[in-house]
Chains A and B, each alone.
Chain A
C-alpha cells in the first residue's frame, strides 16, 4: 500500500518536473516549480526525513517560488517603464538549448550512476551521530549535526545568505542606494488581504518561534522558523500594512549581521574555552547552541524577507522621490 503511494508520488513528481521544464512561459514554470517542491516535501516525509521536508516546503517551494514570482512582476514593471510592455523571453538559440540539455543529462546520469554504485548497506554516520548526541544536550540528531558536528557548514551558510543579499542590493542604481525597496503593488481588492495580514501574523510568529525552539529536540529548526517569520513580515508588507525599510537603515544592517557575527564570535571563543574553532565544552553545549539559534533566527528571517523584496530600483526610475 505504501509502495503504491510511493510509485504514484514518484510518477507525479517526474511528470511535473518534465512539465515545468517544457512550460512555455516563466509564470507557468514557476507555478510548476512550487508544486514540484511540495511534492518533493511529501517524498521526504515518506523517507522519514521531516526536517528536510520542512526545509523543502518552506525554502524550496515557498521562498524560492515567491522570489521567482517577484522577479516576473519586477521584470514586467521594468519593461513597462522603459516602453517595452513585455520584455519577453527572446528565443533561445538551438545550440544553447542542446548544450543545456546535454549538460543536465550528464549531471542526471552521473547522479544516477553514483546512487546505483553505492555499496549496500550504504556507508552511514548515523550510529556515530546518535552515539555523541547526549554530549550536545540536544534531542534531535539533525540539530546536533547542523549546530555541533558540522557547525562550520551552518556558519558558512548564514554568511552566504548575507553575501547573497549584498549581491541583490548591489543591483540597485546609484541614485537608489540606501533607500527603501519598491513596495509591493497595492492589492485590489484591499479588504481580504488586509484582514488576512492582520489575522495571520500573531499565529505565524508563534509558529515560527515554536519551530525554532522545538528544533533542539524534534524536527524543526531555525531555517524553517525563520522562513515562517519572514513570510509574516512579507505578508504585512504585501497588504500595505508595513513599508519596506530603507536598506541603509542602521537597525536593519545590525539585525542582518548580528546572527552570523555572534555565531562567528562564539566560534572563535571555542579556541579559548574548548580546544578548537566552533568547539563547545560539554556542559555549555546546549545553552550555546540555543543562543546561536536565538540570534541567528531573526537575522535569517530578515535576510530572507529583504531578499524577496529585492533591491530599491523601480520607484527611482519613475520619480525622483517616492
Chain B
C-alpha cells in the first residue's frame, strides 16, 4: 500500500515538474504574448495541481491537506487574474503600434 502511495507521489510530482519545464520552454520560445501567457498558465494550473495532488497522501493532518488545496485554488485565482490583465494590455499595446 505504501509502495503504491509512494509511486503515486513520485509519478504526480514528476508529471507536475514536466508541466513546469514545458511551461518555461513555452514562455521562452513562443512568438507572441497570448501564446506565452498560455504557456505560463499551464504550470500554475496543472503543474502545481499535480504536485499538490502528489503530496496529499503524504500529509498526516487533514488541516494541512486543506491548506495545500487552498494554496492551489488561490494560485488559480491569482494567475488567472494576472493573465487576464496582461493579455488585455498586450492586445492594447499591439493595437497602438
Q: How far is the CA of A196 from the CA of B84 in the complex (A)?
A: 11
Q: Among residues 203 to 231 in chain A, which have CB atoms less than 8 Å away from a CB atom of chain B?
A: 203
A87 at interface, CB cutoff 8 A: no
Q: 1/0 contact trace for B56-92 toward A, CB 8 Å? A: 0000000000000010001001101100110010001
Contact of A193 among B70, B74, B81, B92 (CB under 8 A): B81
Evaluate whether A195 and B81 lie within 8 angstroms (CB atoms) in the complex, with A188-B88, A189-B88 already known: yes
A284 at interface, CB cutoff 8 A: no
Chain B residues within an 8 Å CB radius of A79: none
Q: How far is the CA of A85 from the CA of B64 in the complex (A)?
A: 50
The reply to whether A200 and B84 form a contact with Cβ atoms under 8 Å apart is no
Total A-B Cβ pairs within 8 A = 24
A139: min CB distance to chain B, Å: 18
Chain B residues within an 8 Å CB radius of A187: 85
Chain B residues within an 8 Å CB radius of A192: 80-81, 84-85
A82 at interface, CB cutoff 8 A: no
Interface residues of A (CB under 8 A from B): 187-189, 191-193, 195-196, 199-200, 203
Interface residues of B (CB under 8 A from A): 70, 74, 77-78, 80-81, 84-85, 88, 92
Given contacts A189-B88, A192-B81, 15 further A-B contacts (CB under 8 A): A187-B85, A188-B88, A189-B85, A191-B84, A192-B80, A192-B84, A193-B81, A195-B81, A196-B78, A196-B81, A199-B77, A200-B77, A200-B78, A203-B70, A203-B74
Q: Can you identify 18 A-B contacts, CB atoms within 8 angstroms?
A: A187-B85, A188-B92, A189-B84, A189-B85, A191-B84, A192-B80, A192-B81, A192-B84, A192-B85, A193-B81, A193-B84, A195-B81, A196-B77, A196-B78, A196-B81, A199-B77, A200-B74, A203-B70
